[in-house]
A and B are shown apart, each in its own frame.
Chain A
Amino acid sequence: MNSDIAHVKQNFEKDLKKITSIEELNLLNIAYLGRKGRVNEVLLSIKDVPKEKRKIFGESVNTLKFFIQKSIDLKRGIILQKKDREHYIDPTLPGLPYPHGSLHIVTYAIEEISQIFERLGFIRMSYREVEWEYFSFESLNMPKDHPARDDFETFFIDFPPHKEYGKMVLTPHTSSGQVREMIRSKKPPIKMINIAKTYRPNWDATHVPMFHQFEGLCIDSGINITNLKGTIEYFARSFFGNNREIRLRPFHFQFTEPSFEVDVTCDICQGTGKVKNLKCKVCKSGWLELGGAGMVHPNVLREGRIDPKKYSGWAFGFGIERVFMMKQGLNVDDIRILYSGDIRFLEQF
Chain B
Amino acid sequence: MNIKITYKWLLEYLDTNADPFEIQKYLSLCGPSVESVIKMGDDYVFDIEITSNRIDTASVYGIAQECYAILPQFKKKARLKIDPFKKYRLRYLDIRRKAPTPIIHLADKTLARRITAVALTHITIKPSPAYIQERLSLCDERPINNVVDISNYIRIAFGQPVHVFDLDRLGASGIAITKSVKNETITTLDGKKIILPGNDIIIKDVQGRLIDLAGIMGAQNSEVTDQTKNILLFVPSFNKKFVRRTSMLTGQRTPSVTYFEKGLDPERTETTLVYGTELLGTHAEATIASKVLDTYPQKAQKKNLSISFSNIQRDIGAPVGYKNIISILNRLNFKTSGTTNKIRVSPPSYRVDDISIQADIVEEIARIYGYHLIPSKVQQTALAEQPQDINNLLRMENKIKYLLKHLGLHEVYNYSMISKAQILALGLDVHAHLHIKNTISQEIEYLRTSLTSSLIQNIKDNQGKRKQLRFFEIANVYHPKKNDLPDEEKQLGLVTNTSYADIKGILEALCQECNITVSFQPTSQVPYLSHTTQAELLTPDGAIFGWIGQIAPSYQERHGLKDPLYLAGLTMKNLVSASQTVSTYQPINPYAIVKLDMTVPLIKKQPYDSVVKIIRATSKYITDIALLDTFENKITLRLSFERKDRNITEEEAKSELKKIIQALE
Contacts and interface: CB of A to CB of B under 8 A. Distances in A.
Nearest to A200: B440
B441 interface: yes
A258 B366 contact: yes
A247 B488 contact: no
B546 interface: no
A116 B374 CA distance: 23
B483 A155 contact: no
A23 interface: no
Contacts of A223: 379
Contacts of B605: none
A103 B413 CA distance: 10
Contact of B359 (A107, A121, A208, A297): A297
Contact of B408 (A99, A107, A252): A99
B297 interface: no
Contacts, number: 237
Interface stretch (B265-273, B431-439, B625-633): B431-439
Interface-centre pick from A197, A247, A249 (highest chain B CB count, 10 A): A249
Contact of A247 (B360, B367, B372, B415): B372
B241 interface: yes
Interface stretch (A4-12, A37-45, A65-73, A230-238): A230-238
Interface in A259-298: 259-261, 279, 284-285, 295, 297-298
Contacts of A259: 363
A273 to B, nearest CB: 8
B248 interface: yes
Nearest to B404: A101
Interface in B408-426: 408-417
Interface of A: 99-104, 106-107, 111, 114, 120-126, 128-132, 145, 147, 150-152, 155-160, 162, 168, 170, 185, 189-192, 197, 199, 201-203, 208-210, 218, 220, 222-227, 229-231, 233-234, 247-252, 257-261, 279, 284-285, 295, 297-298, 312, 338-344, 346-347
B404 A129 contact: no
Contacts of B53: 252
B359 A258 contact: yes
Contacts of B437: 155-158
Contact of A147 (B33, B261, B436): B261
B483 A250 contact: no
A27 B488 CA distance: 74
A111 B439 CA distance: 31
A189 to B, nearest CB: 4
Contacts of A157: 434-437, 447
Contacts of B465: 342-344
B218 to A, nearest CB: 24
A342 B461 contact: yes
Nearest to B372: A247
Nearest to A294: B363
Nearest to A127: B488
A338 B412 CA distance: 9
The 5 closest A-B pairs by CB, nearest first: A99-B408, A258-B363, A226-B317, A123-B386, A257-B359
A159 B435 CA distance: 8
Given A189-B381, A247-B372, A225 B316 contact: yes
Interface stretch (B134-142, B328-336, B466-474, B639-647): B466-474
A300 to B, nearest CB: 11
Nearest to B471: A341
A339 to B, nearest CB: 6
B414 A339 contact: yes
Contact of B439 (A201, A226, A284): A201
A194 B478 CA distance: 19
Nearest to A159: B434
Interface string B565-585: 000000000000000000000
A227 B379 contact: yes
B375 interface: yes
Contact of A102 (B366, B410, B454, B485): B410
Nearest to B364: A258
Given A131-B485, A147-B261, A259-B363, A218 B385 contact: no
Contacts of B37: 285
A195 to B, nearest CB: 9
B483 A103 contact: no
Given A122-B384, A201-B439, A229 B411 contact: no
B51 interface: yes
B28 interface: yes
A343 B374 CA distance: 47
Nearest to B470: A101
A101 B376 contact: no
Contacts of A158: 434-437
B411 A123 contact: no
Contacts of B245: 150
27 contacts: A99-B406, A99-B408, A100-B408, A101-B470, A104-B412, A114-B394, A124-B386, A130-B434, A156-B436, A162-B483, A201-B438, A203-B441, A203-B444, A210-B416, A224-B315, A225-B315, A230-B375, A231-B379, A250-B30, A250-B31, A252-B52, A252-B53, A260-B371, A284-B35, A285-B24, A341-B461, A342-B462
Contacts of A210: 415-417
Contacts of A203: 440-441, 444
Contact of A249 (B28, B318, B401, B462): B28
A107 B402 CA distance: 10
B563 to A, nearest CB: 15
Nearest to B385: A123
Contacts of A226: 317-318, 374-377
A285 B24 CA distance: 10
Query: Which of A157, A223, A248 has the most C-beta atoms of chain B within 10 angstroms of its own C-beta?
Result: A157
Contacts of A131: 485
B438 A145 contact: no
B357 A298 contact: yes
Contacts of A252: 51-54
Given A252-B54, A261-B33, A312-B315, A339 B413 contact: yes
